[in-house]
Amino acid sequence: MDTLKSLINHEHWANHRLIDALNEVDGFNEPTKRLFNHVLAAHATWFSRVSGLSKDLTIWDSFIPLNEYPLLIDEYQYSLDCVD
C-alpha cells in the first residue's frame, strides 16, 4: 500500500507541474487538452467505481476548463487520501 500511495502522491505532484507548464505555453493545443481531460475524467470515473459513488463522465468527451484542473486534481488526491 505504501508503494501505491507513493505513486499517487507523485502523480499528484506531476499533474500540478503539468498544469504549471500548460499555463506558461502560448497556444495551448487541443490534442494536449483533450488528452489531459481524458486522464482527469478517467481518474474521477475510476475512483467513483471503486468507492461506490455515482459519477457519470464520458472519458473522451469531457472538457474541463484549464482553470478547474488544479481543483479536480486536489479533490482526487483528497479522496484517495481518505481511503486506507
Q: What digits encode the pLDDT tens for the residues 1-34?
A: 688 778 888 988 998 898 888 778 765 678 888 8
Distance from chain centroid for Cα 17: 12
Domain count, the chain: 1
**Above 60 in pLDDT, residue 71?**
yes
pTM: 0.69
pLDDT of residue 54: 65
Among 11, 6, 1, 2, residue whose Cα is nearest residue 76: 11
The boundaries of the domain holding residue 57 are 2-81
**Above 60 in pLDDT, residue 84?**
no
CA neighbours closer than 13 Å in the CB half-sphere of residue 51: 16
pLDDT of residue 42: 81
CA–CA dist 26, 22 (Å, integer): 8
CB-neighbour burial class of residue 29 (10 A; exposed 0-12, middle 13-18, buried 19+)? exposed
